[in-house]
Copies of this chain bind each other. A is one copy, B any other.
Amino acid sequence: MQTELSKKLGVEHALFGFTPFPAVAAAISRAGGFGVLGAVRYTDPDELKRDLDWIEAHVDGMPYGLDVVMPAKKVEGVTEADVEAMIPEGHRQYVRDTLATYAVPELDEGEASGWRITGWMEQVARTQLDVAFDYPIKLLANALGSPPADVIERAHEKGVLVAALAGSARHARKHAEAGIDIVVAQGYEGGGHTGEIASMVLTPEVVEAVAPLPVLAAGGIGSGQQMAAALTLGAQGVWLGSLWLTTTEADMHSRALTRKLLAAGSGDTVRSRALTGKPARQLRTEWTDAWDDPNGPGTLPMPLQGLLVADALSRIQKHEVGPLLGTPVGQIVGRMNSERTVQEVVDDLTRGFEEAVDRLDRIAGRSHE
């Protein structure tokens, strides 16, 4: 399975794996794919440095990349406290009431939330980049629009390709104009922030909109068959995030959450603003229901919602409060039914890809028998 892009990056499979876990990222690259470490949670540059050192020591010289969350527009002089002050008291009370309904225990004294707004702010992303550019990363992806021009320039000087996620052809064209190298077309069915256009429609539309730039298809891809379908639609590779959450290398911190993922069907996700204030696909839980409830206060815009619920989500996750416990994940959660190693997942994807090509060749009357 080789495309121009996979050849350019020197990987065996045109298969990009996004993950917040260094062990998963390294294992994807070792298995012949391209591991991309999600950096949003690294508010401490030393932690990012430690984890990139770990990847360097475990990736066997294979290429890998980094994914940051960086707004293209700069918001000057706004602190976390300024944003905190914009949250209405009624919303804070709704958080307290909902947590009380489920008797969710408090965090311990001094125990901070691991999921704060700070990871979304440009200055944090810039400290992440200062660290990352000292490592031989081959790809820098941005989940929140095109990165600022100086970041694209700096990446290109270092020989790093820049990718950006898009949920529409219009969005993708803006990225192309900003000078990025790869567009990740993220379909409606994918985990995390998504638009409303499904991959079947979005992928070819984005491919046509930004040609000759290469496009990676994201959303709805959890098998070799789906990988083959995405490449059929004109993508030069696939971008998978959800599938790694139930690998044995994933450090999910909560067995209860892993069990929920393994048990969930494709209809058990929801595209909700509950997590960040922008629509993001995630497990549907009584927590997302509370925010999507027409009788509740509703969600706040980004970045207020994320800040509002940060501590609550930490409490829910730490204490494994079943009905409220969730995570961003795509509709392919329906086929994440067993814990496997990253290598097993990649083997299954590449074998499934070959079988799908065989079948399509037979239908097209090009059987090789």
Chain A interfacial positions (CB closer than 8 Å to B): 1-3, 14, 168-169, 187-189, 195-202, 204-205, 219-223, 225-226, 228-234, 265-267, 294, 330-332, 334-335, 353-354, 356-357, 359-361, 363-366, 368
The chain B residue with its CB closest to the CB of A234 is B225
Contact B198 A360 (CB under 8 A): no
Q: Which residues of B contact A222 (CB under 8 A)?
A: 201
Interchain CA distance A340-B195 in the complex, whole Å: 30
Contact A3 B363 (CB under 8 A): yes
Q: Which residue of the partner chain, among B189, B232, B368, contacts A359 with CB atoms under 8 Å? A: B232
Q: Which residues of B contact A223 (CB under 8 A)?
A: 204
Interchain CA distance A353-B360 in the complex, whole Å: 10
Q: Which residue of the partner chain, among B14, B195, B225, contacts A232 with CB atoms under 8 Å? A: B225
The chain B residue with its CB closest to the CB of A4 is B363
Contact B360 A360 (CB under 8 A): yes
A306 nearest CB across to chain B (Å):
24
Contact B204 A365 (CB under 8 A): no
Q: Which residue of the partner chain, among B199, B205, B368, contacts A198 with CB atoms under 8 Å? A: B199
Interchain CA distance A197-B281 in the complex, whole Å: 12
A328 nearest CB across to chain B (Å):
16
